[in-house]
Amino acid sequence: GENVEQHPSTLSVQEGDSAVIKCTYSDSASNYFPWYKQELGKRPQLIIDIRSNVGEKKDQRIAVTLNKTAKHFSLHITETQPEDSAVYFCAAMREAAGNKLTFGGGTRVLVKP
Amino acid sequence: DAGVIQSPRHEVTEMGQEVTLRCKPISGHDYLFWYRQTMMRGLELLIYFNNNVPIDDSGMPEDRFSAKMPNASFSTLKIQPSEPRDSAVYFCASRLSGFEEQFFGPGTRLTVL
């Protein structure tokens, strides 16, 4: 089955700096890659996703890039703010193969004011 | 729609007792997922259903765990007998299909003493 590795496990950045989280996946047929943000004591919520037919997607200060050849994808947060402090999870899925998301281990991001 | 609904939000019980967690997915969603989240093991998929039928229960830790989905608007996760190592936050999530966004419920925080 699919295996998703996520790095780093913790990330501390200064407010205003950029943050980058990287994930690798094992199933070359995976074609959907969402990112979830989980604030302390809350549920995971989708912040951005990308499909395998697209190399990059942006939404204001966040962007995701996908390299299908290398089987890795990354989340980029620019101009970080204290409210970006949370745990971020990447996930991968092969549609029509059960439609089951496989999550990475999570990255705890701390934005220092 | 009120989103995915879970009850109870908090459950404290003693070892050996039966615990039942409940979930109401978003109306019209085809998929329902049960996850367990702990600091040590991250976000684990326990079991998921498609159109009320269990598809993959390979994540269920042992026979003490069971899940049912008697209809499209209700699912239960039962632990009998409960053990202290079952203490975790249990999330239910639902999704329409394929590339659609997966929505998580608020979670049930279970403490087994």
pLDDT digits (tens, 9 = 90+) for B15-66: 999 999 999 999 999 999 999 999 888 899 999 999 999 999 999 988 999 9
Taking all residues of chain A, what is their mean pLDDT, rounded to a whole number?
94
Which of A22, A25, A20, A47 lies closest to A102, judged by CA? A25
Distance from CA of B42 to the nearest CA of A (A): 6
Confidence of residue A97 (pLDDT cuts 50, 70, 90): low
Collapse the DSSP code of B39 into the 3-class scheme (helix H, G, I; strand E, B; otherwise coil) and give the result: coil
DSSP for residue A83: G
B43 interface with A at CB cutoff 8 Å: yes
Structural element, H or E, at residue A75: strand A72-77
User: pLDDT per residue over B80-99, tens digit each?
Assistant: 999 999 999 999 999 998 77
CA–CA dist A101, B104 (Å, integer):
13
Contact between B67 and B57 (Cβ < 8 Å): yes
pLDDT score for A53? 85
Which of B111, B98, B91 lies closest to B47, judged by CA? B91
CA–CA dist B4, B25 (Å, integer):
5
For testing contact with chain B, the best of A99, A102, A107, A108 (most B CBs within 10 A)? A99
Alpha helices in chain A (DSSP H): none
